[in-house]
Amino acid sequence: MATIAIIGAGNVGSQVARVAVRTGHDVVLANSRGGEGLDALIDELGPRARAAGSVADATERADVVVVAVPIHSYEGLPSKAFDGRIVIDTGNYYPSWNGDIAELDDESTTTAEILQRALPGASVVKALNNLNAAELTTTGSPAGTENRRALAMAGDDTNAKRVVQELLDSFGFDVVDVGPLSEGWRFQRDLPAYGIRHTAAEMRSALARALRYRDLPDA
């Protein structure tokens, strides 16, 4: 059982909190307003949840930090507050929402590498980005369940990936390790590993079929 700091309490953050509390973890939630507006969600989540007064307050004693804010907010996060932490990047790039980001447009980097650059003292693992937030609480199942849903994960730190794998397993999902952070593009928006319910074998196949956006037939 872990203490999970969740930065961002919107679609993804609130759903991570629900599945985490349901599976026996403690959660601390932060938003951009010092915790204002989180009362109803904290009430719903019960005694395992609390609102933080700041991002640094949330991360202080966290075993894992889930970053669930728009990727255009990454550069503004208080970097020091993440030093030594295992951080999950849930981010996806939608130019219509995030604005144009040249290094993602030309595919020279990935969202998680941008977060890792913004938080140099953290160990970033990309995960939880490739399913609809609502499905976090509806598509998990116990380990060993036939056709259990699998999620993908990428990261450079083996120990951080082990911790994240155990956490996602406790949430109800098998995990497929895609390799280093630079391979995180394989389960980004619009690709076969994104948004579709896959078993571990299906996920591996979908990841292997991934093409860069520039190589897609309609690019």
Ligand X SMILES: NC(=O)c1ccc[n+]([C@@H]2O[C@H](COP(=O)([O-])OP(=O)(O)OC[C@H]3O[C@@H](n4cnc5c(N)ncnc54)[C@H](OP(=O)(O)O)[C@@H]3O)[C@@H](O)[C@H]2O)c1
DSSP E strand boundaries for the chain:
3-7, 26-30, 49-51, 64-67, 86-89, 123-127, 150-155, 174-179
Bridge-based pairing of strands 86-89 and 26-30 is unpaired
What is the secondary structure of 184-201 as a DSSP string? GGGGSTTSTTSSS---HH
Alpha carbons 156 and 105: distance in angstroms, whole number: 23
CB of 144 to ligand X, least distance (A): 26
If one asks whether residue 184 binds ligand X (CB under 6 A), the answer comes out as: no
Total residues in contact with ligand X, by rule CB under 6 A = 25
Letters for 100-139 (x = contact with ligand X by CB under 6 A, - = none) are: -----------------------------x--xx------
**185-204: which residues touch ligand X (CB under 6 A)?**
none
Structure tokens at 208: 């292997």
Alpha carbons 28 and 22: distance in angstroms, whole number: 14
User: What's the count of helices (H) and strands (E) in the chain, helices before strands?
Assistant: 8, 8
If one asks whether residue 13 binds ligand X (CB under 6 A), the answer comes out as: yes
Contact window for ligand X (CB under 6 A) among 7-15, 16-24, 169-177, 209-217: 7-15
Q: Which of 4, 6, 30, 41 binds ligand X (CB under 6 A)?
A: 30
**139-168: which residues touch ligand X (CB under 6 A)?**
none
Task: Give the binding site for ligand X (CB under 6 A).
Answer: 7-13, 30-33, 55, 68-71, 73, 76-77, 90-92, 129, 132-133
